[in-house]
Structure formats: structure tokens, C-alpha cells
Structure 1
Amino acid sequence: MCAWDDFTQSATAARRSLAQARSGQIPPFLMLSVPGMSAREHRRCSELWVRDRVAASVPERTRLNFRFDLGVRDKLRVGYLSNDFHDHATAHLLIEALEATDRTRCELHAFSFGGNDHGAMRSRLSGAFEVFHDITASTDSDAASAVHAAAIDILVDLKGFTRGARTGIMMLHPAPVQVNFLGYPGTLGSGICDYIITDPFLTPLAAAADYAESFAYMPHSYQPHGRAALGRLPSRAEAGLPETGFVFCCFNQAYKFTPSVFDLWCRLLAATPDSVLWLLASDQAQGNLRGEALRRGVSPDRLVFAPQIGQSEHLRRLQLADLVLDTAPYGAHTTASDALWAGVPIVTCAGDTLASRVAGSLLHAVGLPELIASDEADYVAVALTLAAEPDLLLAAKARLARNRLTAPLFDAAAYARSLHDLYEQMWNRRRRGAGREPIWAAAAPPGSPRPG
């Protein structure tokens, strides 16, 4: 709601709760957007959140007594667990990598516990998996038994602690290798997953103690993204924007906004005449944000709110932005890669946590690391320079336009090959009984043709 009267107390209250060490007290997802919290504290929160549940799952896990065939595989069976197999950000990110998977080496299974919206993305996802299991009505035990009955070698959780998650299935360990991937930007705590799929910028080796999972490194960015059609560029009037003036943009959800980040945005608006800040519409937050702008000496009319629309229409209008501004400590993820695919640079300030470093990972993978600010002052300086010097902004956009078609970030086929390389390493290490140390995927050549 961006009602910030007592916002400064949030970090203090969170640390007090962590110090009390009571299980299940603070949902880890909420901790991601609390300023000042470290990756170590995020792990502490996750460990406390799952501690009693993991302990409570042991009798059922013992009863189920899953045994695994660890023989040599010509084809791995990889299962993806989610309730977002429909028109959802996770599906939009992952679909092209799923479709590019080499079916001679990997058999894909979906384990879906979400509703079927009968939409185009659901249909496309159904075609991307060899088998689509609907476990919506199943208990955690029955769902885990379905995973085991399907002889899944590697089970990939796409939810973590996000809305509707069922980590109880993962706690029963129905597959010999379990992976935390894409849906939740942080550790799930001990006793759940063996690996987290990441990249060297997102989680440097020095951060290993902040994660219960071992690092499984993709060679560029951890995040997949396809090449959806951008469509016709609409007019500014069609998008509700003024005909002239610089367009700063942030389409992150309002819960990621903080008073300190909004301070920086208002400084940018004040220093850039006739500029506007283009935000995603939120019935609960809009009035509060307009009031916060006024308190900072910025006319509320300079906030322009964009309605929620479908993904293809959203990508179309996104091309009208001049510069995307990231949030902190919970930064842009899908919204960042969408912006880069639409040809819009993004300025970010990478922090200590995985949730704060995603935009930086994407910028490295698309060849624009100079847009990663070192601190808040640098963030403002980089954004102001691009807003005040049109030639520099045009040069950045031109480089992005060239790179997005050749850089690794939007090469779904190469991504799929590197991801499968990680899966094969996970499987081979499990077969040998090797310890869960960090692993690195080989980089597939850019522009690799789709296998099969």
C-alpha cells in the first residue's frame, strides 16, 4: 500500500523476531523487501520458517521410504513443480527453454497444483512437457508418491515460498535430486533442496554460507527469457503518457517500493524538467504514492500509472520508456528482462542479497554492466547522466538493440543446453555419492540451434 509512516521500524522488528528464534514466525518472502537485511539473515529466516515443518515431515518420509534407481541414464527425467503453469511471469520466462530442451536426453514432467485457466500459455506448456500431472487435489504425501511413481530423477521446485507454495512435497524427498529454481530468490533452508540454480554475479562463491543449497552455476545469467514478439510501437497518447518529456519507468509491484528508493526517484524527477515516472497501477498504493511525491516537492501529476494488461500488449508499450529504474532491496526480475528485451536500459544498485542482484546479473549477460551502480549516489548519477545526455542514452539503446539478438541473455536454446548440463552433473554426482559442492555448467555456443 506504500503506507510508510512506520516503515523505519520494519528492519528493527524483523531482527527482533529473528532473535527470538521462534519457528514459522516471519514468512521469508516478506523479509526480501525489508531494507538492511543481509543474505545471512534471509537464510536465518528461512531456516526458522521450515524448522518445525521439516522435523514434522520425518515420520511420513520414513513411512513412504522412497527408494531410487541410480543407474546410468540415456535420458534424464526432470520434473517441475509449480502452480504457475498458466499466464504467469514464471511461465513466460521458462517456456522457450522448455521447448528447446533436447528430448533425446531429457524427458520433462510437469507436476501442477494450480488451476487450469485454459489459456494459450497453459496449452503451450502442456505441449512442452511429455507428461502433465495434475496434483491439485492430492495431499503432499500423494503428490510426493506421484513424483516417485513417475521415476523422476531431478525434481525442480519453481515456487519456493511464494504464493500457494507446497514445500511440504519437497520435504518428503520424492526424487533423488531436488533443485530450487527461478520462482523464489533465496534459500529455502536446510532439508529441502540439494541445489539452487544461480550464476556467479547473483551469488558469488563467497556467499555459499548464506544458502542451504549448493550453487549450480549457469554460465551467464540464471534467468531464462525468450524472444516474444514486441509488436507495433503504440503512441505515447495510447499509453497514457505525455507527448514530450523523459519517461522514467518502474513496473515492479508496489511492495518492492521503499521510502529511500522513492526519495531517489523524486530527486531524478526534480532534476529532469518535464519528466514523468511511469508505474504499474495499484488501487491500494496510487493515492499514497501521489501523496509521497507531493511531500517531496514533486507534483503528483508526474506519476503516470499504467493499467495491468496482457504480456504481449505490455511488451509493446514498454518500448516507450526511456529508462527503467530498479528498486532495492528487492529488485526487478521478470520486469528487468522484459525491459531489456524491449530495448530499454535499466539502472540498478546491486546489494548483498540474491533478490537485489538479479538486474545486475541480466545486465552482465546482455553486455551493459556499466549500468550497475555502486551505491545510491552512483545510481542517481548514472540515471541523471542518461536523462540529461540524449546521445549517451541513444548509444546505450543502440548497444542493447545489437546485443539482445546475440548476447546469451535471450538465447533460449543455448540456455536449455547449459541447464541440461547442470542436470547431468547433478545426477552424476548423486550416482557417485559425491558431496554437494558448487558445479558449473558449460556455456553453449551463442545461437545454438534447437536440438532434436
Structure 2
Amino acid sequence: MISSQLDTELASWQQQAQQYLIKGYYNQAANCYEQAIEKELEVKSHYWNLGLMLLLQGQETEAQMTWLLGMAEGEPQQVEQWTGELIQVLQTESQRREMLEDYKVAWAIRQHIREITPTDLNNLLCLIKLAIKLETFTGDELTSLGVIELIQSEKTVNTELFLETLDNILNYNPLHPLVLELIEACLDRINEPESFINILVPITVKMAYSMQQPKLAAIFLELCLRLQPENIAILRHLAAFYLKYYNYSQGIEVAKHCYSLSKTLIDKIFAIHLLHRGLMDSPACWEEACQVLQQQEELFILLLKEKPLNLQIDQVIYLFNSNYFVPYLQDNPSKNRYIQNQVANLSQVNLQNSAREEVQRYQQRNIKSKTSKLKIGYLSHCLCRHSVGWLARWLIQHHNQEQFDIYGYFINYKQINDPLQEWYSQQFTQTYKGGIYSQDIADKIYEDQIDILIDLDSITLDVTCLIMTLKPAPVQVTWLGWDASGIPAVDYFIADPYVLPESAQDYYTEKIWRLPQTYIAVDGFEVGVPTLRRDSLDIPSDAVVYLSAQRGFKRHPDTARLQMKIIKEVPNSYFLIKGLADSEAVQKFFMQLAEEEGVECSRLRFIPQDFSENVHRANLAIADIVLDTYPYNGATTTLETLWMGIPLVTRVGQQFAARNSYTMMMNVGVAEGIAWTDDEYIEWGVRLGKDEVLRQQVALKLKASRQTAPLWNGKQFTREMEKAYEQMWQRHIEKK
């Protein structure tokens, strides 16, 4: 009877103590356990709980003394058992605190577990997770806690806990040098490679693009290949990372390997796109690039014949920009646009099938009244130190925010110091700093009730294409970043009277909206202090200097040959060549071309990239004439050249990319240098080189144009864009 009564009392005390613990009354809970110890001196759990209550009151020494008292006079085997029981009590409370988001107390409790068992790997991993929650994790804990050493020596690792901790570390500080060491240490311990890869790959994408660390991202993926050497997804990203940090040979090699492993038509199309990308930056590989283009067209024909309607989103995303490099190789817009439009349409059909619920939800939006303020959304991954970023800023700056609310949607907001990106983030009525997930950004656009969504990326980014395809805004427009995407969900493509021929509407799915003068205008450019001098390049002061400053994609061999013919015809002329590409291959290519055309190689100069845009613009002044590329003209470089007052020779074609320089020259009032044939390109190049007076006249025209030309009037351009927005919205209202 007495024993039963005692059991009842103890149960009541324990229940009461638990209630005190939950309420935070640690002193009262401690009193309960002290009474329990008086009644049941031999029950060790009372000591463990009493010590915990003292610890929670900050009485660490008293807590440790209580635990030691509970273990006094125990045999080694008993002490081991009791230690396990104590750790279980502490772990339970730590887990409860973590659920309550009381991470500081949870961390403190686990520190005491560490003191009791310093080599408990699971506890150490939990400590790291909590340090990340508290934002106190530095990365050095991986060695100071002995985690890496323990992982290397442990026979087994709690995979679930380790993967969760690794995911936390990678999202918090993936660039710490010990993170790579941690991953290497655990490779042989991973028994779930798929889970490990699923954690690591998205982080490498973030590292390569948001943190601008493609080389380190490639190293991480090379480790993943040890687990699955023929994983196509890993190989795709790895090839892209190599190419991003200009390791062209490895990028091409991995892309070819990826293509050889590809079984499905979609996988082959994307692998060949990656291969094309690598080959295009190496002029010596252009012949192979043309062969790859032919293979790609054959794959597209097969795809369009099949018309698969059950593609998943991760497959569709590969299609949007797979046709990206065609305009660099050929000026055939009716053919190029047909393939692009068909691929974009197929992509949209599949995506809208997969995301039917979201698409239907976006379509149910109520239309606002005519008197309401229009909401204009700008969507891009380039609102930073990028050509689009430099050019779009004047439209954003001059927007009339009394008549329009403007919203900025950053895709893959870069986690680096970028003053232009920061400037943009301050200009909008609201700014959304998105990641790489299209659905999150599309939902935000829909929630913000954007009326007109402006896509600045076109097919330069697949995530942008996914968002536009979902159609989160009732009116959608492509402007500036590239040619039109061909996505049916895009309503308009902004152009002007010159950048597209009158017949262009025949092969565009979007309605071409022509602004009255120019599709782009800027108020000017910041110019720094030049770092190039003729004497330092061993060029005579009286020489005629030609310059071509474009990346490897644009250096079509046919146009490069025309440039060599110009140099040959102009005595005492030199040719400066600059731009992102495989520098060794570029030099070899131009040297060989010079020899074939009878030009002394000593007249060529290969100059490095400048460390800033301001210096790049200042260094343009070393040139007397800039030679444009074809069939893909310069755009930002053309604007910078004209702003610096330097005559330009451009070859005009039929596609958008082959008419950028043409529209810009027309909008500064300079026709000298506009060529409609290859022969005219050579003639203008030679004439401007030989006729110093003509060069001076053109330079004066360009300098005078700064005060009068539409190209240099960002405010007027903004008013024209705003008028276009209002008319687009009016048309939309009238259709409803």
C-alpha cells in the first residue's frame, strides 16, 4: 500500500516537474526532482533531470556536480549506461528547444553533451546546425570540433543527419575552404549518392552564377562524378561551369562526353547546345560548330515531328535556349525564326500541361479599371553589371512613377558586391530578389497584380522563359536582351523602324511593336582613364588603328576575313583584337587568316580585357575605326563606340542581331560606314582608313549628336515606352 502510494506521488511530482519545465519555472521543477531524489535515492533519472533544471537556470557547476553525484560509486559498466541515459535526457530537451526555435538554449545543452562525449559525431553535427541557425557558424568548426577527422575515421555516418547538416552548411557558407575538405572526407561514407547529389548540384549552380565562382563549383561537381561518373545532369552542369570560367577545352570535352551518353532526344539537344557553346568561343572550331549546327537542326526536325506532349519541366527547360547560337552563324531569319517559334510553342504546350493549375489560376485575374495606375514589372537576371543592366537603367531612372508603379523582379539575385545591381534594387516601387526557381517568381508577379511584364532576357535564360510561359501577367513583352523568344504567351516584341525589316512580322509570333525612332536610348556612358597607349603597343602615332572588341561568339570567319582584306588595303594600319574567348585559339585563328590574306602578322595586336567598363570605354579611343561583326552585330559595344565619337563600319543583314548597329547609326544621323554587302563593308573600311578628313567629319557628327540624337535621349525614349505601355493596356482592355 505504501509503495503504491509512493509511486503515485512520484508520478505526480514528475508530471508537475514537466509542467514547470514547459512553463519555464525551472526552480520549481528542480524542487520536484529534489523531493523525488529524497524518496528514491537510487533512481538516477532524477539526478539527470535535476541537473538539467540547474543548467537551465545558469548554474552549470551545480548541474555538473549533481550529475557526478548520481554517478558516484558506480561500476564502469554502470557509469557508461548512466552516461547514455543522461545524454538522452539532454538530447530530448535540446530537440524540444529546437522545435520551439530556442536555438541558443538548444546549442548550450549540446555543448554540455559535447563535454561529456566529445567524439559524438551526431551531436557535433547538431551543434553545427544550431550554430548556423544562430548565424555564428564560421566554418572553422569543421576542424575545431574534429568533425572532418571523425568522419574520416568513423565506420558509419548517420546519413540523414549528415546530409541535412551538409545542406545547411552549403546554403550558409559554401565558399569556406573547409567545406570542400568536408565533402572529400565523406565521399567514401555516402550510402545514398542520389540524395547527396541532389543537395550538392543546386548549390553548385548557386555558386557558379549567384556567387560568380564557377571554378569552385566545377571542383565540387568533379567530386560528385566519383559517385556517379555517367550522371548526365552532373556532366551538363560541369560542362557549363568549365565554359563559364573559360576552360574551353575541358568544357568541350565534357559536352561531347555528355552527348555520347545521351539516350533521349531532349538530352541530345541540350548536350549539343553545350558543345555548340564551347566551339563558338574558339574561332578555330567554327567549321566544327557549323557541322554541329547541322546536327542540331536534324534533332529539332525529329523533335518537331514527334511533338512530345508529356515532357516534364526539367526537360522543357533545356529546350527554350537550345537554338541560341544559330543567329551567330547565319543570317536567315525566316528559317531561324521558324525553328525557334516551333520549339518555343512545343515548350509552352508541355509546360502549361505540367503546370495547368498555376496557369489557370493566373488566367483568373480580375482586370482593373482604366483609371487605375498601371503596374509595370521588369523581369531579368541582368539588372547588374551586364550589358542589359547598363542600357536599361535610363528607362528605369526616367520612369514617371506618378503615373506608373514599376516593380523589379531579379532572377538569381547575385550575392556579390555589384553597385549597379544595388542601384537597381533601390529604383523600383517594389523589388523582389528572387533565386532560380521560376514558380516562386511567377507567383510573386501574380500576387503583385502586375499589368504588363517586361522580359529583358528572352532566351538567354531558361528560368525567364519558364516564367513568361506561365503568363503571370495579362500583357507580356520582350525588350532589349535578345531577339524575340517565340513563346506564344509573349504578346509583343519591342522594335523600331530599322532594327527589323518591314517583312519581319511574317516570321514573328509576337506582335512587333515599333517605337517611332529607336528601340533603345541612353543618356550616355561613364568613361574612365585609358590604360592603352599606342607607344606601349609599338604602334606609330601616325598609324591608322582598327579595333574589334567582341566576344568569340560573334567572330564569324567570313567577317574576320573581310576585316583582314581591309587591313591589307590600308597602308600603315594596325588591327587591335579584344574580347572574351579562347585567347590562344583567337590569336592562332587571326594569325593564320592574316597569312592567307597577305597581311603581316606584326600588324595585329591582341589586347586583354579591361578590369572595368569605364576603362574599356576609355580605351576605345585608341581606335580610329571600329569594325563591327556580322551576322551578329555589336549592341552595347556599338553604343559605346558611337558615344566615344569613333567611326564604325557595320554590315547590315535581315535578322534582328544583324541590324542593331544599323538602327543605332541611323538614330545618330550617321550613314557613313553602313554596308549592305560584303563588298561595301570592305569599301567603307578602306575609305574610312585612307580618308582622314572623312573620319574627322564622322567623329564631329557623332560628338554633335549627343545633344540632338534620339539615341542619346533617354527621357524622350522613356515617354515613348510609357505611351506604348498605355496603348498595349488599352488594347487588352478592349479585347475583354
Over residues 72-106 of structure 1, what are the superposed CA-to-partner deviations in whole Å (9 max), with x where a residue is unaligned? 14421111111112111100011122101111111
Instruction: Report how far residue 346 of structure 1 moved.
Output: 1.1
Gaps of 5+ in 1: 435-452
Partner of 2:394: 96
Residues 554 and 632 of structure 2 are in contact (CA less than 8 Å); yes or no, is this contact kept in structure 1? yes
SS of the counterpart of 1:28? coil
Higher helix share: 2
Work out whether 1:196 is the aligned partner of 2:486: no
Q: Which runs of structure 2 are paired with 1:191-270 in the superposition (5 Å)?
A: 191-232=488-529, 236-237=533-534, 240=537, 242-244=539-541, 245-270=543-568
The CA distance in 2 between the partners of 1:8 and 1:320, in whole Å, is 34
Partner of 1:117: 416
The CA distance in 2 between the partners of 1:25 and 1:422, in whole Å, is 27
Partner of 2:578: 280
SS of the counterpart of 2:684? helix
Residues 387 and 636 of structure 2 are in contact (CA less than 8 Å); yes or no, is this contact kept in structure 1? yes
Residues 347 and 372 of structure 1 are in contact (CA less than 8 Å); yes or no, is this contact kept in structure 2? yes
Q: Please, which moves more after superposition, 220-229 or 333-342?
A: 220-229
The CA distance in 1 between the partners of 2:663 and 2:674, in whole Å, is 9
Instruction: Report how far residue 233 of structure 1 moved.
Output: 5.5
Over residues 278-319 of structure 1, what are the superposed CA-to-partner deviations in whole Å (9 max), with x where a residue is unaligned? 221434433332333233322333222232221111111112
Q: Choose the corresponding residue for 1:27, options 318, 322, 336.
A: 322
The CA distance in 2 between the partners of 1:195 and 1:97, in whole Å, is 18
Partner of 1:39: 333
Q: Choose the corresponding residue for 2:708, options 406, 423, 428.
A: 406
Work out whether 1:426 is the aligned partner of 2:728: yes
Work out whether 1:291 is the aligned partner of 2:585: no
Partner of 2:266: none
Q: Which runs of structure 2 are paired with 1:351-390 in the superposition (5 Å)?
A: 351-390=653-692
Q: Please, which moves more after superposition, 108-117 or 299-308?
A: 299-308
Residues 552 and 582 of structure 2 are in contact (CA less than 8 Å); yes or no, is this contact kept in structure 1? no
Instruction: Report how far residue 382 of structure 1 moved.
Output: 1.2
TM-score for both structures, normalised by structure 2:
0.56
Partner of 2:58: none
SS of the counterpart of 2:324? helix
Residues 321 and 461 of structure 2 are in contact (CA less than 8 Å); yes or no, is this contact kept in structure 1? no
The CA distance in 1 between the partners of 2:355 and 2:298, in whole Å, is 33
Q: Choose the corresponding residue for 1:52, options 346, 353, 365.
A: 346
Work out whether 1:130 is the aligned partner of 2:424: no
SS of the counterpart of 2:667? helix
SS of the counterpart of 2:659? helix
The CA distance in 1 between the partners of 2:355 and 2:368, in whole Å, is 19
Work out whether 1:2 is the aligned partner of 2:301: no
Q: Structure 2 vs 1, CA of residues 218 and 26 (structure 1 numbering), >3 Å: closer, same or farther?
A: closer
Instruction: Report how far residue 251 of structure 1 moved.
Output: 1.1
Residues 320 and 459 of structure 2 are in contact (CA less than 8 Å); yes or no, is this contact kept in structure 1? no
Q: Structure 2 vs 1, CA of residues 258 and 395 (structure 1 numbering), >3 Å: closer, same or farther?
A: same
TM-score for both structures, normalised by structure 1:
0.89
SS of the counterpart of 1:81? strand
SS of the counterpart of 1:52? helix
Over residues 99-156 of structure 1, what are the superposed CA-to-partner deviations in whole Å (9 max), with x where a residue is unaligned? 011111111111111213232111211122121101215x322221110101111111
SS of the counterpart of 1:33? helix
Gaps of 5+ in 2: 1-281, 308-318
Instruction: Report how far residue 404 of structure 1 moved.
Output: 2.5
The CA distance in 2 between the partners of 1:240 and 1:76, in whole Å, is 54
Instruction: Report how far residue 191 of structure 1 moved.
Output: 1.7
Partner of 2:183: none
The CA distance in 2 between the partners of 1:369 and 1:133, in whole Å, is 43
Partner of 2:444: 146
The CA distance in 1 between the partners of 2:672 and 2:660, in whole Å, is 15
Work out whether 1:86 is the aligned partner of 2:380: no
Residues 75 and 105 of structure 1 are in contact (CA less than 8 Å); yes or no, is this contact kept in structure 2? yes
Counterpart amino acid of residue 306 in structure 1: I
Residues 226 and 412 of structure 1 are in contact (CA less than 8 Å); yes or no, is this contact kept in structure 2? yes
Partner of 2:453: 155
Work out whether 1:325 is the aligned partner of 2:627: yes
The CA distance in 1 between the partners of 2:578 and 2:416, in whole Å, is 24
SS of the counterpart of 2:568? helix
Q: Choose the corresponding residue for 2:604, options 294, 303, 307.
A: 303
Q: Please, which moves more after superposition, 85-94 or 66-75?
A: 66-75
Instruction: Report how far residue 231 of structure 1 moved.
Output: 4.2
Instruction: Report how far residue 6 of structure 1 moved.
Output: 4.2
The CA distance in 1 between the partners of 2:538 and 2:374, in whole Å, is 50
The CA distance in 2 between the partners of 1:101 and 1:378, in whole Å, is 40
Moved over 6 A (4+): none
Q: Structure 2 vs 1, CA of residues 241 and 33 (structure 1 numbering), >3 Å: closer, same or farther?
A: farther
Residues 331 and 356 of structure 1 are in contact (CA less than 8 Å); yes or no, is this contact kept in structure 2? yes
Which is higher, the Rg of structure 1 or of structure 2?
Answer: 2
Q: Structure 2 vs 1, CA of residues 192 and 238 (structure 1 numbering), >3 Å: closer, same or farther?
A: farther
SS of the counterpart of 1:298? coil
Over residues 15-60 of structure 1, what are the superposed CA-to-partner deviations in whole Å (9 max), with x where a residue is unaligned? 545544547498222111112x421112122123323321122235
Over residues 153-195 of structure 1, what are the superposed CA-to-partner deviations in whole Å (9 max), with x where a residue is unaligned? 111111111156431111110001000111112x312423100
SS of the counterpart of 1:216? strand
Identical pairs, percent: 25
Higher strand share: 1
SS of the counterpart of 2:459? coil
Aligned residue pairs total 431
The CA distance in 1 between the partners of 2:633 and 2:370, in whole Å, is 41
Residues 564 and 594 of structure 2 are in contact (CA less than 8 Å); yes or no, is this contact kept in structure 1? yes
